[in-house]
Structure 1
């Protein structure tokens, strides 16, 4: 237990009849409490001050990206595991987290009070989070592996050991929004402070909300109170954001509020460009705040929740969402698989909305591997100066629905603010024109980057004049490519390499 060591010390005195010289033990307890030594001795997340500062995340100076406090860029590549704390055991959590770490993910999004009856159905070890569903009374028992929160501790610690942050949702939205809510202002703040203290030294990002929009001022006050509690508990050591429902973003509710460090969207489970263009809308808001898509279309998910009419998504649908978001200014991206978010096991759990396979099989689906190629591409060019650039780089056709296109066939572009490089995402094999002379440098080096394999193919060097037409090397429907153009004098590495 990491929250009340004075009580723990008293317990040892009362129950250890072999202890000699109890007076000196009591003095030791007092000294350690006054020095802050108790927490340092027992915290499951303890590290030296220098290590913690390096791992702490902050907002970049230009308010567009995340970085470590030592200035190192942080690419938020999230995976969605809403039921991770609720439906897995240690062996399963280890299997899942180790797979995601190998694939280059940096954040795992999970919910303390899970959507699927997380406060009334016990976790894999038979534990519930609260006494009588009361957020003022977390169910805490002495010892290790004795309660719900001990298992949350285990998962958070395991993730951190694998250099994964937890995108930590204190609760799913149903518990502050639906029917007769469990949360009010008072217990939301109390619960937030409990979590903040417990995970003060963990590598986490707080994500409030949980797939619900705010419909009245009372609901906003509950969210604000929980955010205040988290900050009071952890000393504002962690970033905070808000996860809304489909097609919406945190900006429409909290953009100007100081507690909201960055904006999160749920662009939702559609395959067309329309929803994803809203990332650019939030990027353009003032004051500037970083923005990302915390819930795009999941892999193998019924498109628009209509399995019979529209079928299930595939990896190419997931890649389009990734690059549409990133090239519209997002600082990172979240992937999800329809079986993994619910930790679906056909032998143990009921299926939600037609999952196609178990989560153990789903972690090997191609989309999860291909997400890292987007991260590697972005990290291979200047990080903090990247901007959206579709209008600057791409030449609009006489028929704009053809180029830059719409629906599934929307082309998008990004570059850095100094125009030393540009990237154009081509979701389909179609000729397109680029304004070469927007870029700096007398010579432009061109590459094709394959988002399915992460491999780059060198095209050649061109004089930097006027407009130039390109078509992908393997044109076809649903075969996407990325054209990378560099100022040759910069001698940037092969795309996707550092």
Structure 2
């Protein structure tokens, strides 16, 4: 199987038909999603690996009418997203949805407002017809004052209500907030309520909105999947800490996870390179996919213009290159021995097959890279270059010997990042 994938990889630059293979519509039996037996990936209902490409759309229910919500979904699907994540509840208990309806009567969890959840139903149904997964966050830290005023039985009843209310939708992933300043029992009882009434056994995920300090598997509550969507990671040093945590978690975790990109300071006008860097580094840390976050999540008045230039325009290229290789069989390199240069080891991410016959490198800038091909299996090797910025592919050097060698990007433009695929020809 690995040889078949390698031949597919090495034909990337000659086969335009591969673009059509990169993203296909789901079939009727595609959902619900499942967890792969390896504990690191998601699969469809038939066991086929599912590369989750998610977008954060926190305020969709509060800011968008139905027509605009559909426009948002269509735009994101055209950019190769297959999932979007929304907050079920408004930002504050005093707020309402777009129709000016509150989720509860008098903020009582036992009295959900039918009109509010009817609108949620329309959104989920529209997503289902477009073969999109909807991650629904059912609790949030800004609602602690309301949830803490209720009992454990109320939390469980809230989960039961949601599971039963939306039981016909297999394209939902339920997400329960799990922050260090929230009661761990809150997650437990809401999740139990959801599981007890979810007909399709939809995945139940946990959410952290701060940079984690403990391993993925360190939580006392065991979710199927973990989302890490930081609210405050806005500096290079903070992201470096998050990236290091991500790398370590990827090596150790037996639970699928997704980490969103940072929110960058506004003075960084071109954030595309940073977003692409984080997307590829996420996959190279064995994440189950990538979670994109931009100002679109707040749906400000300019969102319809900005959605075409918020960094997501490169996600289509991201999906196509990963769909062209056996990403689900590849793991992060821990030794970095393929890169003799210590600076390269710090800057370049490496993702390899366990048999060492294929490696993918994400190179964040245009420069020559020295490779020690003696650490790979095979006698001669071939390279393929890919531009995450433009989507273009170039055939690289062929018949590279099993030795230390230097390779250079085919079009070394300043500020460009690169993907290098290097594989055995045997």
Poorly superposed stretches of 4+, deviation over 6 Å:
none
Cα deviation 1:15-60 (Å, max 9, x = unaligned):
xxxxxxxxxxxxxxxxxxxxxxxxxxxxxxxxxxxx7653121111
Q: Does 1:159 align with 2:127?
A: yes
In 2, the alpha carbon distance for the partners of 1:435 and 1:252 equals: 32
**1:362 is matched with which residue?**
306
Query: How much does 1:471 deviate?
Result: 2.8
Cα deviation 1:417-471 (Å, max 9, x = unaligned):
1223111111012332222233333332211110012221111312341222223
**1:284 is matched with which residue?**
251
**2:95 is matched with which residue?**
121
In 1, the alpha carbon distance for the partners of 2:375 and 2:208 equals: 37
Query: How much does 1:371 deviate?
Result: 1.4
**2:241 is matched with which residue?**
274
In 2, the alpha carbon distance for the partners of 1:242 and 1:220 equals: 11
Query: How much does 1:488 deviate?
Result: 2.6
Query: How much does 1:394 deviate?
Result: 3.2
In 1, the alpha carbon distance for the partners of 2:261 and 2:399 equals: 37
Larger RCO (CA within 8 A; separation ≥ 6): 2
| 1:380–1:249 Cα change, 3 Å | farther
Pairing partner for 2:212 from 248, 251, 255? 248
Q: What is the number of equivalent residue pairs in this alignment?
A: 396
In 2, the alpha carbon distance for the partners of 1:93 and 1:182 equals: 33
Cα deviation 1:61-114 (Å, max 9, x = unaligned):
211111012121211100110011121101110110111111110110001103
SS of alignment partner, residue 370 of structure 2: strand
**2:329 is matched with which residue?**
385
With the length of structure 2 as denominator, give the TM-score of the two structures. Answer: 0.86
**1:104 is matched with which residue?**
80
Cα deviation 1:331-351 (Å, max 9, x = unaligned):
20111221x111112xxxxxx
In 2, the alpha carbon distance for the partners of 1:274 and 1:434 equals: 27
**2:228 is matched with which residue?**
265
**1:326 is matched with which residue?**
283
Query: How much does 1:162 deviate?
Result: 0.7
Structure 1 gaps, min length 5: 1-50, 141-146, 346-357, 490-498
Pairing partner for 2:181 from 196, 203, 215? 215
Pairing partner for 2:345 from 363, 385, 404? 404
RMSD: 2.4
In 1, the alpha carbon distance for the partners of 2:354 and 2:104 equals: 50
Structure 2 gaps, min length 5: 1-26
SS of alignment partner, residue 110 of structure 1: strand
**2:261 is matched with which residue?**
296
In 1, the alpha carbon distance for the partners of 2:146 and 2:165 equals: 29
**1:139 is matched with which residue?**
113
Query: How much does 1:167 deviate?
Result: 1.0
